[in-house]
Amino acid sequence: MQIKVLLNESEMPRQWYNLAVDLPTPLAPPLGPDGKPITPDMLSAVFPMNLIEQEVSQERWIDIPEQILEILYRWRPSPLHRATFLEKALGTPARIYFKNESVSPAGSHKPNTAVAQAWYNKQAGIQRITTETGAGQWGSALAFACSLIGLECKVYMVRISFDQKPFRKMMMETWGATCIPSPSEQTEFGRSILRQFPNTPGSLGIAISEAVEDAVSDTSGKTRYSLGSVLNHVMLHQTIIGLEAKKQLEKIGERNVDVVIGCVGGGSNFAGLAFPFVCDKINGKDIDIIPVEPTSCPTLTRAPFGYDHGDTAGLTPLLAMHSLGHKFIPPPIHAGGLRYHGMAPLVSQALEDGLLNPRSYPQLDCYEAALTFARSEGIIVAPETSHAVAAAIQEARQATEEGKEKVILFNLSGHGLMDLYGYHKYLNNELSNHWLADEEIQRAAKDLKDFPKPHQTV
């Protein structure tokens, strides 16, 4: 019985895959305040030019620099596991596989892009990076990468997660970063939010505004901002996950995958696993590709597709994406990393092009699935990841009903060892489900109406 499929360092992919080149409908460009497509120069106060070039790249394959590979070798290639024990617990004929991204030093997929972004910033002569973090996974990943590459790092952590997950802050400090709760007194935007809503749980949109304001107001020009999801170059860096998974499935003799699953906050771990399979689907393969989100923040399943800002203050360009509106503050569920009002333009466009079948679950269903997983496979997954586990279990149960030998692949995007308070509350019946009211969706549609419309879809 083979449970783990391993690759050695020399088998690791040498290039990232850029889905933008293969999407049936080209991405609608980001727009500036005047409603016209932005130019790379307009982004240069926020990001270094080498990353901006990747953001707009029209190359299908982009070489991974050797020095980045050398850092990734610390934990990559990550193992592909056959979830034999979960299969037995469910009594399913399905073969379930998961890509284990929880083995990175920070505990999630986030270091795949953190290392790349820190490296490109360093190459561009940048000395300090600011960022936001939801659950703390991204902030700790960037703190880890900056400590290896030699950059200062400042993290604005969404208030509710800062309170729920104190150990994440300690991890960031151990790697030499500074972490403060958002909204904070340290930016103009943070102060304005605190004046209006002194008890706000915060949101990723607010934290992004603060981190961008911090970066662009450094007059030395040596600070840039880094985003852990949503943008094209982040999706690109994460594709190493799916490219490895394809090699591993081939190695274990799986020719076809029926279902590919990932949870979605801003879209990066899903994109990382799924985009190489989306490419296969574009080229005729029959694969069900399922992004999974919380019912309390249903960007792909219910929110409109249109232009919107990536942050609450409206500092970022307008991005063509599914969005609940940049002023939307999601309810404080425990999967903090899925509390984002928008969705990556690449994931949003893939949905518009009919390539994805999104699904949403309430948090109690996800915790129940996470317990089934912990008590069979042994791994305590992050609350974000539990959404992918819930979908994998539902697919396996359906395979049982249909008597089908389906192959199911999901992304185990992170472990939940810093998120045990959520498990504690679930086990003590202190959590409840939440569905977003229709009025919230109508309000989102109204908010987006003021912005230009992206090109019509196929």
Positions that interact with ligand PLP (CB under 6 A):
108, 134-135, 137-138, 229, 263-270, 337-338, 382, 384-385, 413-414
Nearest distance in Å: CB 291, ligand PLP? 9
Nearest distance in Å: CB 41, ligand PLP? 27
Using CB atoms within 10 A of its CB, is residue 280 exposed (0-12), middle (13-18) or buried (19+)?
middle
**Cα(362)–Cα(294) distance, rounded to whole angstroms?**
6
Q: What is the number of the residue whose Cβ is closest to ligand PLP?
A: 337
Q: Is residue 209 a contact partner of residue 192, using CB atoms and an 8 Å limit?
A: no
* Residue (18 or 112) nearer to ligand PLP, CB: 112
* Residue (194 or 347) nearer to ligand PLP, CB: 347
Nearest distance in Å: CB 370, ligand PLP? 12
* Residue (78 or 92) nearer to ligand PLP, CB: 78
Nearest distance in Å: CB 134, ligand PLP? 5
Nearest distance in Å: CB 112, ligand PLP? 10
**Cα(317)–Cα(345) distance, rounded to whole angstroms?**
12
* Residue (44 or 421) nearer to ligand PLP, CB: 421
Nearest distance in Å: CB 440, ligand PLP? 20
Nearest distance in Å: CB 102, ligand PLP? 8
Q: Is residue 170 a contact partner of residue 417, using CB atoms and an 8 Å limit?
A: no
**Cα(427)–Cα(371) distance, rounded to whole angstroms?**
10
* Residue (129 or 399) nearer to ligand PLP, CB: 129
Contacts of the segment 160-166: beta carbons below 8 A, 24+ positions apart: 160/201, 160/202, 160/332, 160/336, 161/133, 161/134, 161/135, 161/136, 161/336, 162/136, 162/202, 164/334, 164/336, 164/421, 164/422, 165/135, 165/136, 165/336, 165/418, 165/419, 165/421
* Residue (194 or 380) nearer to ligand PLP, CB: 380
**Cα(321)–Cα(304) distance, rounded to whole angstroms?**
8
**Cα(197)–Cα(231) distance, rounded to whole angstroms?**
29
For 176, 189, 216, the CA distances from 221, given in Å and listed in that order, are: 22, 21, 8
Q: Is residue 409 a contact partner of residue 273, using CB atoms and an 8 Å limit?
A: yes
Nearest distance in Å: CB 165, ligand PLP? 10
Q: Which two tokens stand for residue 426?
A: 């679930």
* Residue (380 or 382) nearer to ligand PLP, CB: 382
- For 183-298, strand residue ranges (E) read 223-225, 259-263, 288-294
* Residue (205 or 399) nearer to ligand PLP, CB: 205
